[in-house]
């Protein structure tokens, strides 16, 4: 996303520069169900997903049944550099990421992984997603428990053997450091700015794909953070 994005303009609903602009969205992939499914989780759980511009990651997960909140933010660097302008430089170690809080009695972690790789992130791309380039746009999984790590590691290996992708899987597991919520104008961006050109070209198609591919877990009602 470009540095010229201004929060005051965004708050006013005016046209602003956001994520890089291109002509069409990436095609979704029907990822296989996870072979390894853990059922030890109970109570609300949290996981972190990085998959390019966080507007779309947050927008998709906010429309999944069982997800209680999806917060855009930064993970991988330190507090001093956890601002949009600094992260946008690509040298902070941060990735644009989304912290997802979910109810495992309604949606399991392995199901969230399947959705993520089906309609959100291309696991074969290194330090880029869609039109966005830089380490801040890397695809990464940040498990928050040993169970999540085991499921995520097994799923990445499973995807590599599946033949669904024509290039090696490069998405990495990252150790949790600290998650820093992004600025207020980034939160719920898709819901607040449905006609933004980046949203219509790149992120709205992801939500439509969610509804078409996984209707049992899709909900039309947006979940506010």
What is the spatial distance between Cα 11 and Cα 117, in angstroms, rounded to a whole number?
31
Asked if 121 and 96 touch (Cβ cutoff 8 Å), the reply is: no
**Phi, psi (5° rounding) for residue 129?**
-150, 135
- Which one of the listed residues 10, 19, 53, 159 is annotated catalytic? 53
pTM: 0.88
Walking along the chain (225 residues) 10 residues at a time, the average pLDDT comes out as: 34 40 61 81 92 97 97 97 95 97 95 97 95 96 96 96 93 97 97 96 96 96 81
Per-residue model confidence (pLDDT) at position 3 = 33
Instruction: Look up residue 10 and give its two tokens.
Output: 């965004």
Annotation says 53 is catalytic: yes
Name the residue ranges covered by the structural domains of the chain: 43-213
CATH classification (class only), 43-213: alpha beta
């Amino acid at each position: 996303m470009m540095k010229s994005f201004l929060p005051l303009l965004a708050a006013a609903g005016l046209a602003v520069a956001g994520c890089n602009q291109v002509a069409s969205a990436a095609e979704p992939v029907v990822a296989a169900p996870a072979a390894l499914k853990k059922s030890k989780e109970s109570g609300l759980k949290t996981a972190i997903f990085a998959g390019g511009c966080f507007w779309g990651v947050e927008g998709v997960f906010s429309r999944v049944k069982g997800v209680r909140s999806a917060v855009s933010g930064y993970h991988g660097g330190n507090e001093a550099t956890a601002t949009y302008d600094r992260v946008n430089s690509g040298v902070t170690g941060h990735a644009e990421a989304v912290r997802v809080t979910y109810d495992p009695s309604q949606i399991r972690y392995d199901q969230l992984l399947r959705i993520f790789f089906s309609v959100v992130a291309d696991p074969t791309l290194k330090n880029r997603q869609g039109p966005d380039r830089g380490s801040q746009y890397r695809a990464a999984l940040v498990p928050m428990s040993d169970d999540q790590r085991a499921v995520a590691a097994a799923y990445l290996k499973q995807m590599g053997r599946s033949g669904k992708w024509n290039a090696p899987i490069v998405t990495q597991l990252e150790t949790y450091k600290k998650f820093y919520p992004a600025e207020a104008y980034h939160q719920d961006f898709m819901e607040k700015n449905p006609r933004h050109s980046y949203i219509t070209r790149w992120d709205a198609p992801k939500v439509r794909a969610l509804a078409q591919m996984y209707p049992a877990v899709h909900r039309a009602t947006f979940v506010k953070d």
